[in-house]
Structure 1
Amino acid sequence: MFFQLLATLVFSTVLIAAAPAASTVQLDGATVTGTSVGSVQQFLGIPFAQPPIGDLRFRLPQPVPAYNRSFSTTAFGPSCPQQKFVLPVLKGLPQVIVDDLINKVYSAVIPSSEDCLTINVVKPASATPSSKLPVLFWIYGGGFEFGGASTYDGSGIVARSISMGSPVIFVSINHRRVTGFGFLASKEVKNAGVGNLGLQDQRQALRWVQKYITAFGGDPTKVTIWGESSGAISVSLHMLANGGNTEGLFRAGVMQSGAPIPVGDIENGQVYYDSIVADTGCSGSADTLQCLRTAPYDTLKAAIDKTPSITSYQSLRLAWLPRADSVFLTDHPQRLVQQGKIARVLFITGKSCNCDDEGTIFSFSTLNETTESEMRDYVKNVALFGITDAQIDQLATLYPANLNQGSPFDTGPLNSLTPQFKRIAAVQGDGVFQAPRRWFLKNTSGKQDIWVYRDKRFKFLPFVGSMHGSDLVDSFFLGQELRDYIIRFTVKLDPSGTGFFDFKWPKYTTGNPNQLIFLDGLVPQIVRKDTYRQPQMDFLTQLGLQAPV
């Protein structure tokens, strides 16, 4: 959330100061007017599907009719409805005041609406319909609960690609990959075939790209999908959809802090569906799903907001996330990987390895868990619900109460907010991010080209270290190496440069598990083997395969 708020404020300031000029593109029978600043043009807030309101709520995205009326695209559209932030109860804090303040600030910075299915295209000003430039399709993160395209300014990426002599087109979207509006889950949803609507929205946007990106100078055969966190998980799931059939919608993927996670059947979300049905007054309806479609928006939103948030005590045991629905995902994602039902595309993955300390920001909800017994209770009954006493004993041995082994890693006894904070952060980071990433690589290595990295920068940040999302600084804002790697990968399907002084990023294989490491200091990049905490991650992987959420 911090990076989203900061990026949005900075981007807004840039737009105010830039005084952009007008630019146009032709879509069907419509002249679409965007903005032009220097070498970059932006077309923002273009509808790519019909608004999912009224009877289209909780239905598959419907294509927009042909554009036949000219319109302006000079501002981002609103984000899709966001989950309310609910902070864990901590002694001495005026909780209601804190929650209310955070939600008001967030809503002001990132406004939302149920009418939200829009796409943004950022292109070189020199690009024409005959340019056939590679396309970088961005999917934002946010725990399947928060986020919006307005947070991420693609103009810096396009400008950098131009200066490198490898121009690309940047595309981003707003979509229902947030909360119950996009991931309602139950037997009713499964029977209606309307699960994973947030992923279906992304798929529809990719079809829009196939149809219209040529008008902006893009090549529909050279699309790379790129995401961070839940956006990266989304990228991995597009590789598993339709039995691994990409439908020609993309040729490569970039995953920052995300891979197929251990999720089960869509009926596992029944408890949240039933809660929402009750809170909206739909319990007595013969068709509860249809009743939810007609429920007042504010009533439905309030009911969804009562479900657990990623910022609450339950944290990474998410209420809203993709699940096997027999349509988009025909089986549990990790089973599909085991069965080889995965698209044979090239990819870069940072997964949890992406950032060294993935679990720290998700462990502040556990600050009241300060003893060995409290840690065990939290892991057994919340974080890894359903594991046995023997398994919790084994986990406690693999992740001991030794501050030197906790996360932020490699910081010794420092950053220990409580005696159990670094320990819980290590378990959560490995369990949700690191272990699934390594397992994914193990099952895809040798079948497609793979490059892997881990970001160990910002270790100086108190308590969070190289926290989840910190690599976005290198992708969008301050850094340059990671952004250049992604641009080169989008253009030529190889992240390494060809210059004499360019750092060569070796491929990853199970026999030679090379991992590029980003570091603070005078030596910014090194290559090491991706073998750290192997017994711990193997154990967590087996737990996830046995009991997907």
Structure 2
Amino acid sequence: MALLTHISRTLLLLSSVSVAVSAQDGQLISTQPSVTLDNATVVGVANETTGTNQFLGIPFAQPPVGDLRLRLPQPVAPYSGTINATAFGNQCIQQTQPNTTLPSGLPSAAAQFLSGMGAAQPQTVPQDEDCLNVNVIVPANVTAESKLPVAVWIYGGGFALGSNIGEPGENVVQRSVELGHPIIFVSPNYRLNAFGFLGGKEMKEANVTNLGLHDQREAFRWVQKYISAFGGDPSKVMIWGESAGAQSVGMQMVYNNGDSEGLFRAAFMESGAPMSTGYVDNPFLQATFDQFVVDAGCSGSADAVACLRNISTDAFTQAVNKAPTLSSYRSVNQPWEPRADGNAIAQPPEHLLLAGKIANVPFVSGNDMDEGTLFSFANINVTTDDEFFDYVSSNFFPNIPSANITRLLELYPSDPAAGSPFGTGDNFTYTPEYKRMAALQGDLLFIAPRRLLTQTLAGKQAVYSFLGNEHGVEGLGTPHGSDLQDVFGAPGTGNLQDYLIRFAATLNPNGDGAVEWPQYTNQAPNLLTLNNGEPAVNITKDNFRAEAMAYLTGLCVADPM
């Protein structure tokens, strides 16, 4: 759920994009890169600094506005005319994230890092319901005959915010050319918060749940139809994301009971996997829907979903901003996460995984060391063992017997030395339960689902896993999202960047003289570990907190959120 907006990266990308126009008539200069889609000429912009051509803001589906709000995405009509793809398209509408009260004693580095959480995406690009657009970044010398591998990036943001303007994909493309493994970078938008993930039985009955996942799927179909025109090979697509984006990739792997429909051949997940979530009409989701209807002014309507389609965008957005957020007391158990709907996501995701209903493709899935530290300030008013018990029981496992919760909390004790940030002893004990909460929430949402995924599929398909233990922040450890610096940083500055490029290009992350990254097996649960010091990269074993995480996973499977 990376809520970090990566503003510096965004500004870098924005600064590289300029709309070249004729001073005489305002027409696009004919020397700009262009491609033909259907009967249209799509005009992009060249970035000479990175040696890439960028085609930005291309619609990949019909605008989900008016009667198409809260409906499945509709394929885009055949293109015609001239499409100006020299600037970003609209961002999808974001949910405002309230500020979280931070504890005293927080190191300045941690406070600065946290200050980026929940901020709106840069307002240089408007937010609008009409936001289903895609960016395509290609090497400058690509032709329609190049048939390059394609990496489709799905951004994070807790399914509440985020957009395809946030990460500089041209850095990845530039580095891929330098490595001799050129790839194409594609980044679609998808609907967020209640626009894309409103639950409740009414939404389920109307078959309009998990709309953001359907948007992603429609973007994958667009890639199959059109990426050849940009020089890409539709048979060599890797889907890839971080946080909510990685969780989306995991959900796409179990979508339609694991039928990839030939839309992708590989997957890469940074801090995300098929989720430990339950059903779209569980009591919390139903209560959220019912309150949303009231807040939107649709209470008493005979057809609440139809009413929600007809209110103004402003009224809908105001209701979104009254709903729970990651900054609220429920923290990581928030209403916008994808959940089982009996349709595209037939059962709880981890149940589908365990039943073998998951795409049989090679994949990478990894984590950062301290995934939970960012998300445990929203509930720092939980300060006693009894309050911690009540929080875990009511918020995460309402249907689990008390004795099982007691056992879980024995495995995640209140001893600060056992908590996260890990390996820091009694330091950073902002409250008596903070480090315990950070350890549990990081494992619950990120590390335990990843371990279940890698352990379940090891030996059945090619599996690689990593652990980020670099780019640490004093007071937060190696927090959620820190691996993004390795992937989207300047070309050649991140080890994970090179492994990702090779995997996208060849389905094998190894080569070019890099430290060998062995596959993950249950006999040898190998983790490519990224370190702050020397060695910068080494291989460790995925055996930390084994008993605790196995027990936690059992509870998640028995009572998914």
Shared fold, TM over 0.5: yes
Counterpart for residue 369 of structure 1: 382
Counterpart for residue 313 of structure 2: 297
Correspondence 1:345 to 2:345:
no
- Aligned residues between the structures: 536
Correspondence 1:56 to 2:68:
yes
Deviation at 1:109, TM superposition (A): 5.7
Correspondence 1:209 to 2:223:
yes
Any unmatched runs of 5+ in structure 1? 93-99
Deviation at 1:2, TM superposition (A): 3.3
Correspondence 1:245 to 2:259:
yes
Correspondence 1:167 to 2:182:
yes
- Secondary structure in 1 matching 2:161: coil
Q: 1:122 aligns with which of 137, 154, 163?
A: 137
Q: 1:159 to 1:101 in 2, by over 3 A?
A: closer
Correspondence 1:47 to 2:59:
yes
Deviation at 1:87, TM superposition (A): 3.3
| 1:297-329 CA-partner distances (Å, limit 9, x unpaired) | 111111121111012221101111111112211
- Secondary structure in 1 matching 2:387: helix
Deviation at 1:110, TM superposition (A): 5.9
Deviation at 1:191, TM superposition (A): 1.4
TM-score (norm 1): 0.93
- Secondary structure in 1 matching 2:123: helix
Instruction: Provide the C-alpha distance between the structure 1 equivalents of 2:468 and 2:138, rounded to a whole number of angstroms.
Output: 29
Instruction: Provide the C-alpha distance between the structure 2 equivalents of 1:296 and 1:41, rounded to a whole number of angstroms.
Output: 38
AA partner of residue 520 (structure 1): N
Instruction: Provide the C-alpha distance between the structure 2 equivalents of 1:266 and 1:226, rounded to a whole number of angstroms.
Output: 25
Question: Is 1:357–1:468's contact at 8 Å kept on the other side of the alignment?
Answer: yes
Correspondence 1:85 to 2:112:
no
**Root-mean-square deviation (Å):** 2.2
Correspondence 1:473 to 2:485:
yes
Counterpart for residue 337 of structure 2: 321
Structure 1 stretch 166-175 or stretch 474-483: which is displaced more? 474-483
Deviation at 1:16, TM superposition (A): 6.5
AA partner of residue 540 (structure 2): R
Question: Is 1:5–1:151's contact at 8 Å kept on the other side of the alignment?
Answer: yes
Counterpart for residue 220 of structure 1: 234
Q: 1:2 aligns with which of 1, 4, 21?
A: 4
| 1:127-157 CA-partner distances (Å, limit 9, x unpaired) | 1111100000000011111100000111111
Question: Is 2:253–2:260's contact at 8 Å kept on the other side of the alignment?
Answer: yes
Question: Is 2:486–2:494's contact at 8 Å kept on the other side of the alignment?
Answer: yes
AA partner of residue 352 (structure 2): L
- Secondary structure in 2 matching 1:224: strand
AA partner of residue 207 (structure 1): R
Deviation at 1:391, TM superposition (A): 2.5
Counterpart for residue 30 of structure 1: 40
Question: Is 1:314–1:383's contact at 8 Å kept on the other side of the alignment?
Answer: no
After TM superposition, the structure 1 = structure 2 runs for residues 100-249 of structure 1, keeping only pairs within 5 Å, are 106=121, 108=123, 111-176=126-191, 178-249=192-263
Instruction: Provide the C-alpha distance between the structure 2 equivalents of 1:411 and 1:17, rounded to a whole number of angstroms.
Output: 50
Counterpart for residue 107 of structure 2: none
Deviation at 1:225, TM superposition (A): 0.3
Instruction: Provide the C-alpha distance between the structure 1 equivalents of 2:510 and 2:362, rounded to a whole number of angstroms.
Output: 14
Question: Is 2:530–2:537's contact at 8 Å kept on the other side of the alignment?
Answer: yes
Deviation at 1:17, TM superposition (A): 12
- Secondary structure in 1 matching 2:176: helix
Instruction: Provide the C-alpha distance between the structure 2 equivalents of 1:311 and 1:110, rounded to a whole number of angstroms.
Output: 24
Instruction: Provide the C-alpha distance between the structure 1 equivalents of 2:19 and 2:57, rounded to a whole number of angstroms.
Output: 20
Structure 1 stretch 237-246 or stretch 214-223: which is displaced more? 237-246
Counterpart for residue 333 of structure 1: 349
Deviation at 1:107, TM superposition (A): 5.9
Give identity over the alignment, percent. Answer: 46
Q: 1:532 to 1:23 in 2, by over 3 A?
A: same
Instruction: Provide the C-alpha distance between the structure 2 equivalents of 1:439 and 1:152, rounded to a whole number of angstroms.
Output: 29
- Secondary structure in 2 matching 1:156: helix
Counterpart for residue 552 of structure 2: 540
Correspondence 1:413 to 2:426:
yes
Question: Is 2:280–2:340's contact at 8 Å kept on the other side of the alignment?
Answer: yes
AA partner of residue 198 (structure 1): G
Deviation at 1:218, TM superposition (A): 0.2
Structure 1 stretch 403-412 or stretch 162-171: which is displaced more? 403-412
Instruction: Provide the C-alpha distance between the structure 2 equivalents of 1:462 and 1:164, rounded to a whole number of angstroms.
Output: 34
| 1:248-280 CA-partner distances (Å, limit 9, x unpaired) | 100000000001112112212211111111122
| 1:332-369 CA-partner distances (Å, limit 9, x unpaired) | 1111111111111000111xxx1000000000112222
Deviation at 1:6, TM superposition (A): 3.2
Question: Is 1:90–1:368's contact at 8 Å kept on the other side of the alignment?
Answer: no
Question: Is 2:17–2:86's contact at 8 Å kept on the other side of the alignment?
Answer: no
Q: 1:255 aligns with which of 249, 265, 269?
A: 269
Instruction: Provide the C-alpha distance between the structure 1 equivalents of 2:233 and 2:412, rounded to a whole number of angstroms.
Output: 48
- Secondary structure in 2 matching 1:209: helix
Q: 1:373 to 1:180 in 2, by over 3 A?
A: same
Q: 1:476 to 1:89 in 2, by over 3 A?
A: closer
Question: Is 1:4–1:147's contact at 8 Å kept on the other side of the alignment?
Answer: no
Instruction: Provide the C-alpha distance between the structure 2 equivalents of 1:465 and 1:241, rounded to a whole number of angstroms.
Output: 34
Structure 1 stretch 330-339 or stretch 20-29: which is displaced more? 20-29
Any unmatched runs of 5+ in structure 2? 22-28, 105-114
Structure 1 stretch 102-111 or stretch 62-71: which is displaced more? 102-111
- Secondary structure in 2 matching 1:69: strand
Counterpart for residue 323 of structure 2: 307
Deviation at 1:381, TM superposition (A): 2.7
Counterpart for residue 491 of structure 1: 505
Question: Is 1:49–1:204's contact at 8 Å kept on the other side of the alignment?
Answer: yes
Counterpart for residue 464 of structure 1: 476
- Secondary structure in 2 matching 1:336: helix
| 1:387-415 CA-partner distances (Å, limit 9, x unpaired) | 43322321221112222111111122222
AA partner of residue 186 (structure 1): G
Question: Is 1:110–1:148's contact at 8 Å kept on the other side of the alignment?
Answer: no
Counterpart for residue 284 of structure 1: 300
Instruction: Provide the C-alpha distance between the structure 2 equivalents of 1:519 and 1:170, rounded to a whole number of angstroms.
Output: 27
Structure 1 stretch 467-476 or stretch 109-118: which is displaced more? 109-118
Q: 1:198 to 1:105 in 2, by over 3 A?
A: closer
After TM superposition, the structure 1 = structure 2 runs for residues 507-526 of structure 1, keeping only pairs within 5 Å, are 507-526=519-538
Q: 1:430 to 1:244 in 2, by over 3 A?
A: same
| 1:272-298 CA-partner distances (Å, limit 9, x unpaired) | 111111122222222111111001111
Correspondence 1:430 to 2:443:
yes
After TM superposition, the structure 1 = structure 2 runs for residues 442-453 of structure 1, keeping only pairs within 5 Å, are 442-453=455-466
AA partner of residue 2 (structure 1): L
| 1:163-205 CA-partner distances (Å, limit 9, x unpaired) | 11110000001111x2011011111111111111100001101
TM-score (norm 2): 0.91
- Secondary structure in 1 matching 2:185: strand
Instruction: Provide the C-alpha distance between the structure 2 equivalents of 1:428 and 1:104, rounded to a whole number of angstroms.
Output: 22
Counterpart for residue 96 of structure 1: none
Instruction: Provide the C-alpha distance between the structure 2 equivalents of 1:245 and 1:512, rounded to a whole number of angstroms.
Output: 29
Instruction: Provide the C-alpha distance between the structure 2 equivalents of 1:348 and 1:13, rounded to a whole number of angstroms.
Output: 32
Deviation at 1:512, TM superposition (A): 1.4
Deviation at 1:88, TM superposition (A): 4.3
- Secondary structure in 1 matching 2:364: strand
Instruction: Provide the C-alpha distance between the structure 2 equivalents of 1:182 and 1:105, rounded to a whole number of angstroms.
Output: 17
- Secondary structure in 1 matching 2:11: helix
